[in-house]
């Protein structure tokens, strides 16, 4: 794994990493082997770089590379089944009202709400909603034109914008799902979401180390701290393409 892919998480979590890194350094150095010394040296360098980034003494961004990775992942957006199958699991975890077609969930009933989807990509969960008053997808990747036309048919606007730069207000709900691992600044995105609507629904994978296209590692403590409210759940999933530990919840903000 390239060292660079740790930097997004390191920037936002430098104090946590420093504490963890110092403990690792102490344990590793006790072994007194050349390999242990090299590992300990790397940890110290990462702590130092994290401090510099946090204090804005140096600039570091690989986000354009991460976005290019994501764009290639989606390709021409013709076959998105693998991701869309997971969305029905996300919806259940986000406590959405399910509408069934026989034995399976076919739609989510959003009961005439206006909904902003941050990072919805080319196949937002909003496309699976009935009784959607108005929808909007904000995403930093410019997907094929036909995906925008499909959104338009379903009364969903699309804006090509980074989550850190969203400036929205007046929505009934804002949704974030399988998104925050990909962003440059998690705190900015969540704070923008909180200003956009009175209700936040969220689903995010936890405890996955940074890797290509995914510069952030999310933890429950980190997300709880930024959202600033109780009510989150942690679920372990093994179904329909969803494998791992996830953070989910419905948070209601007082806008008065």
* Residue range 178-195, pLDDT digits in tens: 999 999 999 999 999 999
The model's pLDDT over 74-127, given as tens digits with 9 standing for 90+, comes to 889 999 999 999 999 999 999 999 998 887 889 999 999 999 999 999 999 999
pLDDT score, position 139? 96
Contact 253, 199 (CB under 8 A): yes
List pLDDT tens digits, range 115-160.
999 999 999 999 999 999 999 999 999 999 999 999 999 999 999 9
The candidate with the shortest Cα–Cα distance to 64, out of 180, 213, 209, 196, is: 213
Question: In the chain, what is the straight-line distance between the N-terminal and C-terminal CA atoms, in Å?
Answer: 46
Q: DSSP readout, the chain? A: --GGGGHHHHHHTHHHHHHHHHHHHHHHHTT--HHHHHHHHHHHHHHHHHHHHHTTSS----HHHHHHHHHHHHTTSS--HHHHHHHHHHHHHTTPEEEEETTEEEEEEEEEEEEEEET-TTS-GGGGEEEEEEEEEEESS---HHHHHHHHHTTEEEEE--GGG-----EEEEEEES-GGG-S-HHHHHHHHHHHEEEEEEEEE-SPPPBTTB-----HHHHHHHH--S--EEEEEEETTEEEEEEEEEEE----
Predicted confidence (pLDDT) per residue in 189-234, tens digit: 999 999 999 999 999 999 999 888 888 999 999 999 999 998 889 9
Asked if residue 10 has pLDDT above 60, the reply is no
Domain coordinates in residue numbering, the chain: 3-54, 67-252
Unique residue bearing structure tokens 């701290």: 225
In words, the CATH class of domain 67-252 is: alpha beta
Tell me: pLDDT of 251 over 90: yes
Q: pLDDT digit string (tens) for 34-83?
A: 555 665 565 555 555 455 445 544 334 446 778 888 888 888 999 999 99
Tell me what the mean pLDDT of segment 19-45 comes to: 56
Mean pLDDT of the chain: 83
Give pLDDT, residue 46: 56
């Amino acid at each position: 794994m390239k060292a660079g892919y740790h930097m997004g998480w390191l920037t936002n979590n430098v104090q946590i990493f420093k504490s963890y890194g110092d403990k690792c350094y102490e344990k590793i150095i006790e072994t007194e082997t050349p390999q242990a010394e090299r590992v300990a040296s790397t940890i110290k360098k990462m702590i130092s770089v994290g401090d510099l980034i946090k204090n804005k003494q140096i600039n570091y961004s690989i986000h354009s590379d991460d976005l290019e990775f994501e764009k290639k992942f989606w390709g021409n957006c013709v076959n998105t089944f693998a991701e869309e199958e997971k969305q029905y699991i996300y919806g259940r975890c986000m406590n959405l009202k399910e509408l069934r077609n026989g034995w399976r969930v076919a739609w989510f009933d959003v009961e005439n709400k206006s909904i902003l989807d941050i990072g919805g990509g080319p196949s937002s969960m909003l496309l699976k909603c009935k009784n959607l008053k108005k929808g909007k997808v904000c995403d930093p990747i410019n997907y094929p034109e036909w995906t925008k036309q499909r959104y338009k048919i379903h009364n969903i606007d699309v804006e090509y914008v980074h989550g850190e730069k969203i400036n929205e207000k007046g929505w009934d709900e804002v949704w974030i799902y399988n998104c925050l691992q990909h962003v440059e600044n998690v705190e900015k995105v969540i704070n923008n979401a909180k200003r956009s609507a009175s209700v936040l629904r969220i689903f995010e994978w936890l405890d996955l180390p940074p890797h290509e296209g995914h510069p952030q590692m999310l933890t429950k403590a980190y997300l709880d701290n930024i959202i600033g409210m109780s009510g989150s759940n942690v679920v372990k999933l093994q179904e329909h393409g969803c494998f791992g530990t996830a953070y989910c919840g419905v948070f209601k903000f007082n806008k008065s």
